[in-house]
Structure 1
Amino acid sequence: MTEIPGVDEYGVDVEIPERAVEDALAVRPDDVKPADELTFARNVFLPLTTACRYTCTYCTYYDVPGEAELMTPEDIREACRTGAEAGCTEALFTFGDDPDDRYTAIHDQLAEWGYDSIHEYLREACEIALAEGLLPHANPGDQTREQMELVADVNASMGVMLETTADVQAHSGSRAKNPGQRLHTIRTAGELGVPFTTGILVGIGEDWRDRAESLLAIRDLHERYGHVQEVIVQPVSPNERWDGGRPSEATMRRAVAMARGVLPDDVAVQVPPNLADARALLDCGVEDLGGVSPVTDDYINPDYAWPAVRELEDIADHGGVPLRERLPVYERFLPADGTENEWVSARIGRAVRDGERYQSVLAD
């Protein structure tokens, strides 16, 4: 097995047998079955700040220090209210990893508003979303246990992209992403019982073995904790900072099939329909089209607009399967009696139980 960078530093023990890698590398589209249905969630995309301590060469999300700003509580409330009125169920909160650690202005603004950290502010943002009728799903990058504990009870689900277990040049430099730290975040979610979304990024310099090991590392952690609800297979996309091209359709077909062949049946395989040709991938085991927004942009990939729900219906029709809306937390994690369980806090459980829109989605 290839040594995954950072696993010793972060105390992450993942088991990736060589035979499992060989089996994963052998998977092709003809080896998997198409899904019986496609799912998606309606969301509001809320970038709390575009500050990030990383400088990945494919990312247009982050702004340099001095240019990044924070969404105000009023901005958050207005966006959530607009989304709820449009029928959304999810408030997707994102920001770069530990932005207040690198960006003095962000730290100072948080302090002026009375918050010691971006995670304290994230908690307030989640409270606003819940009050406006949306279920929070926070994707704030790498997190310590203390950071995740601070916000877990006000999130229906959370996530972070693993991207790759490989040491790639796209992550190079003094502020490089650490695969061990990413895996530590995914493991922490499992330890805390947080329904979780993760995924791989295809085309940033990793090879096929790296993709197999990344998926197998996710599988290993899920088999221990049962917390991974979906894995995204996302192609890198050309933009103003990335001219390294995008993976071919054949590469994406094999990568999606590998994900479906490697992951347990209870973990959905997702492709983002604004970044990949979902029609060309349906027979490779795609089950979910992710969160799409009728009211906000994809701020991580601003050059690639969300498809309308009508287009998602066309994708499902192309595959001859029904399209079903879902909540940001998969139904299997929800408490049967509408209260809390090991996956969902009482706050989230009550919100789902008492929310007419949520119950309508679950009933469909």
Structure 2
Amino acid sequence: MIPGADAYDVTLDIDETAVDRALAVDPSDVDAAPELSFARNVFVPLTTACRYTCTYCTYYDPPGQASLLPPDEVRAIVERGADAGCTEALFTFGDDPDDRYTAVHDQLREWGHDSIHSYLREACEIALDAGLLPHSNPGDQTREQMELVADLNASMGVMLETTADVQAHGGPRAKSPGQRLATIRTAGELGVPFTTGLLVGIGEGWRDRAVSLLAIRELHERYDHVQEVIVQPVSPNERWSEPGPALEAMRRVVAMARVVLPPEVSVQVPPNLAPVRDLLDCGVDDLGGVSPVTDDHINPDYAWPALRELEAIAEEAGVPLRERLPVYERHLDWLSPRIRGAIDADDAAGARYRSVLSD
């Protein structure tokens, strides 16, 4: 039983035979992908507040110290990204940050918003005006929260991380795998192209990894909405002193993801957090969003690679490197009129989007 599944009315049919097949996967069972893709993005951390206190995370600040990015700074960041040729504005913040951060809630109210999702909608409008397609990753969301912002996003996402009950999520506000899965399901019900993934090495076991991938697969098979699954190792930092997973463990998890997931779902490994060159033969086909202008604010100790490094990775693998948008081509028909209009617009941003699609 997946923790929290009953509480969030998540029903999955994961049988032990499928788990056993996943656990039997070896890197030799998969082939290297024929090409690699990436998105050129700009990272916009709306706030460092989060209702959770996961022991591996350096992103959140405690109440009284958390920042909230004002609209003029959002505009400056996305305009700089557009000038650098980016196509995606990646909006991140902790789960329900106005839930326990009084100062954040008060500031939002001063700006005319009753929630962080209301403010996210304004930020997405700013990004679209600047010539970037929003991709928002605001953690767990209710249907009402996602509905409020879905039409202004080319895609959205949340990391499942694991279906296991791990100590790293511990405390009175621990993440619920059931709630994570409910968010992924909600995206499918609303027709939102979606990104999710596993965080490897936070205390989960091999069976947990298999179940996590099978849960994602089942939800995708219901709704056809998962674009990519990230396989991300936990990284040592000032709050997490444990070593990350060994290379052989990462190779096995990536191969498992490639075998378990349908072929249309990309397997992504972040090149600033994992030894991607040593994983390409395990089925990796996407390198994720890489920013030429902003830091990885969730993993600030691990700098994004330059585009030339991505090109070198692809060249060493002997495959082409292709830029993509935050929405995959097979989901273009899912887009709202606002996002579709931005892609089709007769302006510089629209031309940039279409150029990426035509490559």
Judge same fold: TM > 0.5, yes or no.
yes
1:353 aligns with 2:344: yes
Equivalent residue runs for 1:243-254 within 5 Å: 243-254=241-252
Q: Structure 1 CA distance, aligned partners of 2:119 and 2:273?
A: 30
Partner of 1:340: none
Q: Give how far 1:18 is off.
A: 0.8
Partner of 1:338: none
Q: Give how far 1:149 is off.
A: 0.2
Equivalent residue runs for 1:85-96 within 5 Å: 85-96=83-94
Q: Structure 2 CA distance, aligned partners of 1:242 and 1:320?
A: 36
Partner SS, residue 307 of structure 1: coil
Which residue identity lines up with residue 91 of structure 2 in the other structure?
A: F
Q: Structure 1 CA distance, aligned partners of 2:37 and 2:202?
A: 27
Question: Which of 68, 71, 94 does residue 69 from structure 2 map onto?
Answer: 71
Partner SS, residue 42 of structure 1: strand
Question: Which of 108, 121, 142 does residue 119 from structure 2 map onto?
Answer: 121
Pick which of 229-238 and 311-320 moved more: 311-320
Offset from partner CA, 1:278-334 (integer Å, 9 cap, x none): 100000000000000000000000000000000000111111100000000001111
Q: Give how far 1:33 is off.
A: 1.0
Which residue identity lines up with residue 281 of structure 1 in the other structure?
A: L
Q: Give how far 1:125 is off.
A: 0.2
Partner SS, residue 22 of structure 2: helix
1:362 aligns with 2:327: no
Equivalent residue runs for 1:141-180 within 5 Å: 141-180=139-178
> How many equivalent residue pairs?
355
Deviation above 2 Å: which 4+ runs of structure 1?
none
Q: Give how far 1:270 is off.
A: 0.1
Partner of 2:274: 276
Which residue identity lines up with residue 323 of structure 1 in the other structure?
A: L
Q: Give how far 1:15 is off.
A: 1.4
The runs of 5 or more residues in structure 2 that have no matched partner are none
Partner of 2:218: 220
Equivalent residue runs for 1:322-333 within 5 Å: 322-333=320-331
Equivalent residue runs for 1:232-243 within 5 Å: 232-243=230-241
Which residue identity lines up with residue 228 of structure 2 in the other structure?
A: E
Q: Give how far 1:17 is off.
A: 1.2
1:104 aligns with 2:102: yes
1:204 aligns with 2:207: no
Q: Give how far 1:353 is off.
A: 1.4
Which residue identity lines up with residue 222 of structure 2 in the other structure?
A: R
State percent identity of aligned pairs.
Answer: 76
Partner SS, residue 102 of structure 1: coil
Provide the aligned C-alpha RMSD in A.
0.4
Q: Give how far 1:352 is off.
A: 1.0
Partner of 1:57: 55
Partner SS, residue 233 of structure 1: strand
Partner of 2:4: 6
Q: Structure 1 CA distance, aligned partners of 2:247 and 2:4?
A: 31
Q: Structure 1 CA distance, aligned partners of 2:303 and 2:116?
A: 28
Q: Structure 1 CA distance, aligned partners of 2:80 and 2:97?
A: 27
Offset from partner CA, 1:248-305 (integer Å, 9 cap, x none): 1000000000000000001000000000011000000000000000000000000000
Question: Which of 296, 299, 302 does residue 301 from structure 1 map onto?
Answer: 299
Q: Structure 1 CA distance, aligned partners of 2:150 and 2:344?
A: 18
Partner SS, residue 245 of structure 1: coil
Offset from partner CA, 1:129-149 (integer Å, 9 cap, x none): 000000000000000000000
Q: Structure 2 CA distance, aligned partners of 1:251 and 1:231?
A: 17
Partner SS, residue 212 of structure 1: helix
Q: Structure 2 CA distance, aligned partners of 1:334 and 1:353?
A: 11
The runs of 5 or more residues in structure 1 that have no matched partner are 336-342
Q: Structure 1 CA distance, aligned partners of 2:133 and 2:151?
A: 11
Q: Structure 1 CA distance, aligned partners of 2:343 and 2:20?
A: 42
1:230 aligns with 2:218: no
Q: Structure 1 CA distance, aligned partners of 2:30 and 2:100?
A: 44
Partner of 1:81: 79
Which residue identity lines up with residue 341 of structure 2 in the other structure?
A: R
Q: Give how far 1:351 is off.
A: 0.7
